[in-house]
Structure 1
Amino acid sequence: MKLRPLVPADYASVLALNTTATGLVDPLGLDRLDWLRLIAAHAVVVEDDGRPIGFVLTFTPGSAYDGLEYGWFSATYGDRFLFVDRIVVDADRRREGVASTVYRAIERSAHPFARVVTRVRSDDPAGLTFHTDRGYVEVGKQRRADGATMSLLSKDLTD
């Protein structure tokens, strides 16, 4: 398994993977994916045997990213965070440590930021457990226009 930059040739695979996580991550179309890749701090594909099995997108403070939760983190933490917008792993490869490997890489590369932040649907016990087991704590909640409640999570990297 290796992590490598997401390139336009990956778009079809990334969009298909994102669709498998519908309800857990925001919808994603081709134009938005292309824009997010260009403004992301990390736009990474997880590849195994030459096949994309996951991807991750992160954003730094001051980016053009327009997500609701990102706005909350910006107002709360200023310029001291790295935001994980989404991480998606192929359903057949979940529970194999792929997401843990990606998070370790993100957390190691987060310097100079004091924390890594993300959001998880409050009704996603697996996602919440994954993050709390990694040391993330809930620092807020946010209700979206679609009625979903998001848990806003943060992991302090200065400990």
Structure 2
Amino acid sequence: MSLVIRDVQEHELVRVLELNNAAAGPSINALDLDRLRRFHSGAEYFRVAEKDGEIFAFLVAFGYDARHDSDNFGWFQQNIDEPFLYIDRIVVDRAQRGKGTGHVFYADVQTYAEMRYPVLACEVFLVEGFNRALLFHGSLEFQEIGQCPQNERTRAAMLVKNMCSHAWIADTYGKNLPDLPWVGHPRTEWIDKRTKGTGTR
């Protein structure tokens, strides 16, 4: 069965939590279920990768005006003048790493961002020696615009990628994007909460 990237469902958050906390370390903070549910309520993009009925990866991203309490997200709010989509985290099950899932996810989130935002942002923790994450992001044309301390010993490179087609899409379609599956409209739950004024953005 082929790889499927799709919106997460609320009942699947327990599996997402397992993946997140199994990968927790210097660059991925551990979560509890309550905080993950807040992510689910406030994230504009929250999708999982599924193969043969098994969720093995996820990516979470927040719009620039979200009420998200990440210090790194706050850094971008203070240092980027344009609206942006912020990738908070991507997690791939250890057994599935190195098989291209990261590239597929980034292609999907970039397509989503390109139609809505001029900038895609994320951070990469700096480590001594070869930094696989920096190489990955560099190969996708992300550029460092600064660094942000994470603790006494660790810093993160703050990266952005300009969405080159965004201006044309905005001029051509405005907010009336065509209703096509690959356009990737925002999650229904997030739209409903924002419309009612009860969301976290």
TM-score bracket, normalised by the shorter chain, equals over 0.9
Gaps of 5+ in 2: 166-201
Q: Which residue of 2 aligns with 1:120?
A: 124
Q: Which residue of 2 aligns with 1:6?
A: 8
Q: Which residue of 1 aligns with 2:18?
A: 16
Q: Give, in whole Å, the separation in 2 of the partners of 1:103 and 1:70.
A: 18
Aligned length: 159
Q: Which letter maps to 2:108?
A: A
Q: RMSD in angstroms over aligned alpha carbons?
A: 1.5
1:155 aligns with 2:157: no
Q: Which letter maps to 1:92?
A: A
Answer with 12-21 or 129-138: which moved more: 12-21
Q: Which residue of 1 aligns with 2:150?
A: 144
TM-score by length of 2: 0.75
Answer with 62-71 or 122-131: which moved more: 122-131
Report if aligned partners of 2:82, 2:119 keep a CA contact under 8 Å in 1: no
Which structure carries more relative contact order (alpha carbon 8 Å, separation 6+)?
Answer: 2
Shift in Å, 1:151: 1.0
Shift in Å, 1:56: 0.7
Q: Give, in whole Å, the separation in 1 of the partners of 2:5 and 2:97.
A: 16
1:70 aligns with 2:73: yes
Q: What is the CA deviation profile of residues 33-72 of structure 1, one whole-angstrom value per residue up to 9, with x for unaligned ones? A: 0001110011111111100010010000111111111111
Q: Give, in whole Å, the separation in 2 of the partners of 1:145 and 1:13.
A: 29
Q: Give, in whole Å, the separation in 1 of the partners of 2:116 and 2:13.
A: 30
Gaps of 5+ in 1: none
Q: Which letter maps to 2:62?
A: F
Report if aligned partners of 1:62, 1:79 keep a CA contact under 8 Å in 2: no
Q: Give, in whole Å, the separation in 2 of the partners of 1:77 and 1:91.
A: 33
Q: Which letter maps to 1:5?
A: D
Runs of at least 4 residues off by over 6 Å: none
Percent identical among aligned pairs is: 27
- Give the alignment partner of residue 80 of structure 1, picking from 78, 83, 96: 83
Answer with 1 or 2: which has the greater Rg: 2
Shift in Å, 1:5: 1.5
Q: Which letter maps to 2:48?
A: V
- Give the alignment partner of residue 34 of structure 2, picking from 31, 35, 39: 31
> Superposed, which structure 2 residues align to 1:43-122 within 5 Å?
43-110=46-113, 111-122=115-126
Report if aligned partners of 1:136, 1:154 keep a CA contact under 8 Å in 2: yes
